């Protein structure tokens, strides 16, 4: 008898019919002998609708109250799920984040889990019930309701799997697994039966939308086995495995792309110690999430520093730079470009296989795609190119690295 934590995202429980379909699947898993604990997100677009309501009520949105508001969505979903299970004769108990023992810090809207004390969940499980836990929420050390952020239900599921010592954490979603590229873009994209944590981390960091990167980090750090699969077709999805098992994998696993970022360049900065530190500390203090950073070779003691930020944060980043930091650093000017795309080639196999970068650059060049920035990790190479070329680049690279199906 295996203990499985099953997480269902918003689209998987979007309406009463979907809730009943999921309950039916859970009933089947139990009949096959599994113990199931569920983590459920808010139904469909409910979180967005709550945010719209807040917009209509106030221009001031205190974090404590936003979290009280948003977490109402998951409460509805867990209660309805328990009713659907009861309708099938499966005894179930709903638990809010607080009731399930998720203690978090006091950082509203984006709280971090400090500790899980899942006593009530365990009791319910041992009594033969299906515990149904609200995703993405907890209670802070100040006893306030907290929200773990968008995509936080994946993190709830992974952390709960660890706390319950579950045999498997299944993340059910609206795609049937992890693909070698976005299947909407690359018809020949293939579903991967398995992937390593490192590869999945790089993919989620460079545009693969599911699962949430943070949950993959937690799973990786705590050795929680993941299975990313579909709540619509119920077919087996993609297993996320440790390094060793992946030795036989091909060199390159996937091509990802991301159109959500913008590029900022601080031009002609004196190349002296402390410049980067001052620059990125100022952005970090304002909560601007900087991603790729590239510093050009110094000429005549001056350099250019380019980096990418989410396009949402572009205005804020520019205003921070222009309100003093840039001139304080002695920079000539600040430029930005909000029509960039990033394409990334990912695969643990590239560590020991030279020539991957060369193939990537040659493929882009052969198709007249200009590379504006490059950054690499041990298992990833990313190029910033113009946004309009990103989709074509993904297709060329998918073919060039032999990932096309058939």
The residues binding a second copy (CB under 8 A) are: 16, 19-20, 50, 53-54, 56-62, 64-66, 68-69, 71-73, 75-76, 78-80, 82-84, 86-87, 92-94, 96, 99, 120, 143, 145
| Cβ at position 151, least distance to a second copy in Å | 21
Spatial CB neighbours of 198, under 8 Å, sequence gap ≥ 6: 220, 243, 348, 378, 379
Q: Which is nearer to a second copy, 21 or 267 (CB)?
A: 21
Q: Which is nearer to a second copy, 120 or 318 (CB)?
A: 120
CA distance 94 to 64: 23
| Cβ at position 121, least distance to a second copy in Å | 13
Segment (H or E) for 23:
helix 16-31
The pair of structure tokens assigned to 339 is 């029509």
| Cβ at position 129, least distance to a second copy in Å | 11
| Cβ at position 62, least distance to a second copy in Å | 6
Q: Which is nearer to a second copy, 16 or 330 (CB)?
A: 16
| Cβ at position 84, least distance to a second copy in Å | 5
Q: Which is nearer to a second copy, 156 or 194 (CB)?
A: 156
Q: Which residues of 369-404 are buried (b: 16+ CB within 10 A; e: fewer)?
A: beebbebebebbbbbbbebebbbbbbbbbbebbebb
Nearest-CA neighbor of 382 among 352, 348, 357, 350? Answer: 357
Spatial CB neighbours of 223, under 8 Å, sequence gap ≥ 6: 242
Q: Which is nearer to a second copy, 95 or 401 (CB)?
A: 95
Q: Which is nearer to a second copy, 49 or 299 (CB)?
A: 49
| Cβ at position 83, least distance to a second copy in Å | 4
Nearest-CA neighbor of 108 among 157, 141, 154? Answer: 141
E strand map for 1-154: 3-8, 35-40, 92-95, 102-104, 113-116, 130-134, 137-140, 145-147
In which residue are the tokens 């209660």 written? 79
| Cβ at position 133, least distance to a second copy in Å | 12
How far the first Cα of the chain sits from its last, in Å, is 38
Q: Which is nearer to a second copy, 44 or 347 (CB)?
A: 44
CA distance 363 to 356: 11
Spatial CB neighbours of 331, under 8 Å, sequence gap ≥ 6: 266, 267, 268, 269
| Cβ at position 26, least distance to a second copy in Å | 13
Q: Which is nearer to a second copy, 82 or 326 (CB)?
A: 82
């Amino acid at each position: 008898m295996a203990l499985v934590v099953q997480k269902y995202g918003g689209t998987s429980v979007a309406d009463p019919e979907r809730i009943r379909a999921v309950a039916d699947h859970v009933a089947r898993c139990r009949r096959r002998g599994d113990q199931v604990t569920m983590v459920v997100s808010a139904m469909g677009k409910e979180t967005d609708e709550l945010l719209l309501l807040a917009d209509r009520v106030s221009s001031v949105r205190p974090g404590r109250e936003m979290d009280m508001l948003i977490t109402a969505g998951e409460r509805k979903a867990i209660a309805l799920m328990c009713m659907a299970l009861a309708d099938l004769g499966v005894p179930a108990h709903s638990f809010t984040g607080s009731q399930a023992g998720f203690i978090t810090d006091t950082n509203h809207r984006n709280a971090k889990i400090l500790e899980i004390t899942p006593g009530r969940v365990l009791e319910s499980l041992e009594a033969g019930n299906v515990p149904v836990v609200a995703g993405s929420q907890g209670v802070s050390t100040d006893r306030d309701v907290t929200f773990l952020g968008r995509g936080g239900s994946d993190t709830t599921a992974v952390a709960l799997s660890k706390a319950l010592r579950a045999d498997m954490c299944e993340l059910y979603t609206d795609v049937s697994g992890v693909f070698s590229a976005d299947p909407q873009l690359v018809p020949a994209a293939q579903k991967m039966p398995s992937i390593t944590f490192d590869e999945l981390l790089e993919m989620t960091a460079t545009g693969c939308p599911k699962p949430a990167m943070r949950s993959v980090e937690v799973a990786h750090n705590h050795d929680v086995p993941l299975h990313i699969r579909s709540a619509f077709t119920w077919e087996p999805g993609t297993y996320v495995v440790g390094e060793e098992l992946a030795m036989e994998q091909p060199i390159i696993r996937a091509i990802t792309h991301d159109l959500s970022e913008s590029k900022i360049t601080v031009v002609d900065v004196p190349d002296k110690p402390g410049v980067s530190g001052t620059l990125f500390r100022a952005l970090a203090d304002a909560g601007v999430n900087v991603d790729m950073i590239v510093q050009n070779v110094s000429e005549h003691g001056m350099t250019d520093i380019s980096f990418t930020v989410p396009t949402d944060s572009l205005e804020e980043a520019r205003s921070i730079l222009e309100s003093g930091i840039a001139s304080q650093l002695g920079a000539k000017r600040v430029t930005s470009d909000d029509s960039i795309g990033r394409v990334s080639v990912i695969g643990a196999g590239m560590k020991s296989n030279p020539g991957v970068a060369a193939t990537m650059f040659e493929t882009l060049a052969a198709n007249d795609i200009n590379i504006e920035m490059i950054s690499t990790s041990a298992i990833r190479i990313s190029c910033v190119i113009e946004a309009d070329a990103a989709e074509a680049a993904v297709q060329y690279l998918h073919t060039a690295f032999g990932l096309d199906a058939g």
